[in-house]
Amino acid sequence: MRLSDLLIAGCLLGTVAISAQDLQAVDLTAYNTRRLRDQQTTMLILGGWAVGNMATSGVLLYSSERDGRYFHVMNIGWNAVNLGIAAAGYFSARRTDPAGFDLYGTIKDQQRLQKTLLFNAGLDVGYVMGGLYMMERAKRDQSQRLEGFGRSIVLQGAFLFVFDVGTYLFLGRNDSKLQPLISGLYFNGNTVGLVARF
């Protein structure tokens, strides 16, 4: 093979590698744009739940008696925390530059969020169980505070369980969109490579 043939082949391969890399960057940026927009949407849902609960409980607090007052006090406190989490999550996703992720960073961030949601779903079950325990304990102790707090914690834990599992599934639908971006990657024990098909 002549030197000129090698130079032409090298230039063509370099162009193909750059084109495949540029295509991956465009697809990755589009994927991350969609992923971050979906995260913002889920935080708006959580924030809407929090504001709705705080407003409703704020109004009903003054007309409620006994365990109802404790129920609404706990709702307001719990949803103040939910609102803070929703605001932090929304603005974090909004500030994040979709083009600032490489493939590894994208996969790592997506998996971190999904693991967090599954962990939170487990905590939510614990909240419901804790609330049920408080309600049962209230029967023995004749405690209106335990009854009201327990009912509120069951409600909030149940909502958060549905929210966390729903968000996990909603954001997980994007996982299949990563497949074309990583399908050309291979590892044989000694080498890592990228195969681009045209």
Tens digit of pLDDT at every position of the chain (198 positions): 555 454 454 444 443 343 444 445 548 899 999 999 999 999 999 999 999 999 999 999 989 888 899 999 999 999 999 999 999 999 999 999 999 999 889 999 999 999 999 999 999 999 999 999 999 999 998 889 999 999 999 999 999 999 999 999 999 887 877 777 677 666 676 666 655 555
What does the alpha-carbon distance between residue 197 and residue 94 come to, in Å, rounded to a whole number? 35
Q: What is the pLDDT of residue 196?
A: 55
Domains: count for the chain: 1
Do the domain assignments include residue 142? yes
Q: What is the pLDDT of residue 195?
A: 59
Burial of 25 (0-12, 13-18, 19+ CB in 10 A): middle
What does the alpha-carbon distance between residue 8 and residue 12 come to, in Å, rounded to a whole number? 6
| Residue 82 near residue 127 (C-beta atoms within 8 A) | no
Do the domain assignments include residue 147? yes
What does the alpha-carbon distance between residue 155 and residue 121 come to, in Å, rounded to a whole number? 14
- Domain hosting residue 82, numbered range: 26-194
Do the domain assignments include residue 129? yes
Q: b/e map of 103-118 (b: 16 or more CB within 10 Å)?
A: beebeebbeebbeebe
Do the domain assignments include residue 16? no
Do the domain assignments include residue 13? no
Do the domain assignments include residue 145? yes
What does the alpha-carbon distance between residue 186 and residue 148 come to, in Å, rounded to a whole number? 57
- pTM given for the model: 0.79
Do the domain assignments include residue 8? no
